[in-house]
Amino acid sequence: MKFVGIVGSNAEISYNRKLLHFIKKHFAKQFELEILEIDNIPLFNQDLKWDENFQLRLLYNKITRADGVIISTPEHNHTISPALKSVIEWLSYDVHPFENKPVMIVGASYYDQGTSRAQVHLRKILDAPGVNAYVLPGNEFLLGKAKQAFDEDGNIIDERTVGFLGLCLDNFVKYVEVVSKLKKSKPIAPEDLDVTNSISTTIQGIDPDDPDWVEKAAELVGAVSGDTYVKLDHGILTVNQIDMFLKAMPFELTYADDNNQFL
């Protein structure tokens, strides 16, 4: 089972980032967790295109492919951070990767209440039309006094806290399993005729979100180019000749892979 963890802060030093790294390390036998950052993302503006930002495209792709999402939110003025709110706005206006996606909320803060107000607000936001996430009910993990909660190696010191976190995560795993059996149609990804999004590849060992995946995949499989001949069903042509034919066609060819990505 593969989850993504979203750091709900764009600060360089974040206890919510530390919390996600602890979850990734300590519970690695239960699930795989990939941690995603929300820095380098502009403030939401409905007049701009979401897919012009690489980090937003990366978040969209990773969330869409994940079995579940864990959001670790800080608390700023009794609510979530502006950076996290802006990201959710981006990912619920033209595209909807959170739709029907199981989501768990955790949080760490300097004070006793451990982001309790922010978590309440985040639940309401994730339940809003356009977002429509399946938020894990109950199981509120609130890590207060975060400065004193971790040791030098980034481990949570209190064993009872670790035990409760493990219980919440175990419930989330079961929740994801139940949700996955619901027959809900998946949101349709936007058509990418300009190839602004990364393209899924079946070549093992290549990250489809890597901006240089074409070059790396070509090197890995020894892809041919130039005047090298390619065997077809009824003849042979060089790569340059095939390229010439494709470019000379007076219409556009679109190829869609299994992930609805377009080339």
Q: pLDDT digits over 244-256, tens only?
A: 888 887 766 665 5
Provide mean pLDDT across the span 214-238.
Answer: 85
Contacts of 125 (CB under 8 A, 6+ apart): 80, 85, 88, 131
- For residue 220, what pLDDT is reported? 83
Count how many Cα atoms sit within 13 Å of the Cα of residue 36 in the half-sphere of its side chain. 24
Count how many Cα atoms sit within 13 Å of the Cα of residue 52 in the half-sphere of its side chain. 7
Assign 5 a pLDDT band (cuts: 50, 70, 90): very high
What sign for the dihedral angle of Cα 146, 152, 156, 158?
Answer: negative
**14-67 tens-digit pLDDT:** 999 999 999 999 999 999 999 999 998 999 999 999 999 999 999 999 999 999
- For residue 46, what pLDDT is reported? 93
Element (H, E) at 241: helix 239-248
Residue 262 has pLDDT above 60, yes or no: no
More confident residue, 166 or 195: 166
Assign 181 a pLDDT band (cuts: 50, 70, 90): confident
| CB of 115 closer than 8 Å to CB of 107 | yes
Residue 140 has pLDDT above 70, yes or no: yes
- For residue 263, what pLDDT is reported? 44
Q: Where are the domains of the chain?
A: 2-180, 193-263
Q: What is the dihedral of CA 213, 103, 117, 159, to 10 degrees?
A: -90
Q: What percent of the chain shows pLDDT beyond 70?
A: 87
Residue 121 has pLDDT above 80, yes or no: yes
- For residue 9, what pLDDT is reported? 95
Fold of 2-180: Rossmann fold (3.40.50)
